[in-house]
Amino acid sequence: MDADVIVVGAGLAGLVATAELVQAGRSVVLVDQEGEQGIGGQAFWSFGGLFFVDSPQQRRMGIKDSVDLALQDWMGSAQFDREEDHWPRQWAEAYVHFAAGEKQSWLKAKGHSVFPVVGWAERGGGLAGGHGNSVPRFHITWGTGPGIVEPFEKMVREGHEKGLVQLAFRHQVDELVVTGGAVTGVRGQVLEPTDAERAAPTSRTSIGEFTLSAQAVIVTSGGIGGNHDLVRASWPDRLGTPPEHMISGVPAHVDGRMLAIAERAGASHINRDRMWHYVEGIKNWDPIWPMHGIRILPGPSSMWLDGAGRRLPVPGLPGFDTLGTLKLLRQSGHDHSWFVLTQAIIEKEFALSGQEQNPDLTGRSVRTLLKERLSKGATTPVEAFKSKGEDFVVADTIEQLVAGMNALTPDSPVDLELVRRQVEDRDRELDNDFTKDLQIAALRQARAYRGDRLIRVAKPRKILDPGKGPLIAVRLHVLTRKSLGGLETNLDSQVLGTDGQPVEGLFAAGEVAGFGGGGVHGYNSLEGTFLGGCLFSGRAAGRAAAQQVD
Instruction: Report DSSP letters for 103-163, one per residue.
Output: HHHHHHTTT--B-SSPB-----SS-TTSSS-SS--EEEBTTHHHHHHHHHHHHHHHHHHTT
Answer whether 464's CB lies under 8 Å from 427's CB.
Answer: yes
User: Do the Cβ atoms of 324 and 312 come closer than 8 Å?
Assistant: no
Beta pairing partners, 295: 281
pLDDT at position 237:
97
Helix (H, G, I), strand (E, B) or coil at 264: helix
Model confidence pLDDT, tens digit, residues 148-160:
999 999 999 999 9
Question: How wide is the angle at C-alpha 249 spanned by C-alphas 358 and 136, nearest 5°?
Answer: 55
Q: What is the pLDDT of residue 373?
A: 79
Of 16, 21, 12, 19, the residue nearest 547 (C-alpha): 21
pLDDT confidence of 125, banded at 50, 70, 90?
confident
Give me the helix-helix angle, 12-23 and 144-161, nearest 10°: 40
CA angle 347, 349, 351 (to 5 degrees): 95
Number of continuous H segments (helices) and E segments (strands) in the chain: 19, 20
How far apart are alpha carbons 492 and 113 in whole angstroms?
A: 27
Distant-in-sequence, close-in-space partners of 360: CB < 8 Å, separation ≥ 6: 368, 369, 371, 372, 373, 379
Query: 547 — phi, psi (to 5°)?
Result: -75, -30
Under the banding of pLDDT at 50, 70 and 90, the label for residue 284 is very high
196 contacts: CB under 8 Å, gap ≥ 6? 35, 37, 202
Evaluated on CA atoms 327, 328, 334, 338, the torsion sign reads negative
Q: How far apart are CA 537 and CA 14, in angstroms?
A: 10
pLDDT in tens, 425-478: 999 999 999 999 999 999 999 999 999 998 889 999 999 999 999 999 999 999
pLDDT-derived band at 517, boundaries 50, 70, 90: very high
Looking at the DSSP bridge assignments, the partners of residue 369 are none
Average pLDDT, stretch 504-528? 98
Q: Quick check: 489 and 537 in contact, CB under 8 A?
A: yes
| Amino acid letter, residue 247 | I
Query: Burial, 453: exposed, middle or buried (Cβ in 10 Å; 0-12, 13-18, 19+)?
Result: middle
**If pLDDT is split at 50, 70 and 90, which confidence band does 370 have?**
confident
Phi and psi at 32, nearest 5°, equal: -150, 140
Please say whether the beta carbons of 67 and 54 come within 8 A: yes
Q: How far separated are the first and last CA of the chain, in Å rounded?
A: 12
Question: For residues 301 and 456, what is the distance between their CA atoms, to the nearest angstrom?
Answer: 10
DSSP-derived pairing of the beta strands 471-483 and 247-248: parallel
Average pLDDT over residues 359-383: 88
**C-alpha span between 214 and 6 (Å, rounded):** 6
Asked if residues 192 and 205 have their Cβ atoms less than 8 Å apart, the reply is: yes
User: Which residues have C-beta within 8 Å of that of residue 383, sequence separation ≥ 6?
Assistant: 377
Residue 406: predicted pLDDT: 98
Buried b (16+ CB within 10 A) or exposed e, 327-359: bbbbebebbbbbbbbbbbbbbbbbbbbbbbbbb
Asked whether residue 374 carries a pLDDT value surpassing 80, the answer given is no
Helices (H), 339-456: 343-349, 359-362, 366-374, 380-388, 398-408, 416-428, 438-446, 450-455
pLDDT average, residue stretch 369-395: 90
pLDDT of residue 375: 75
**CA dist 354 → 294, 358, 454 (Å):** 8, 7, 22
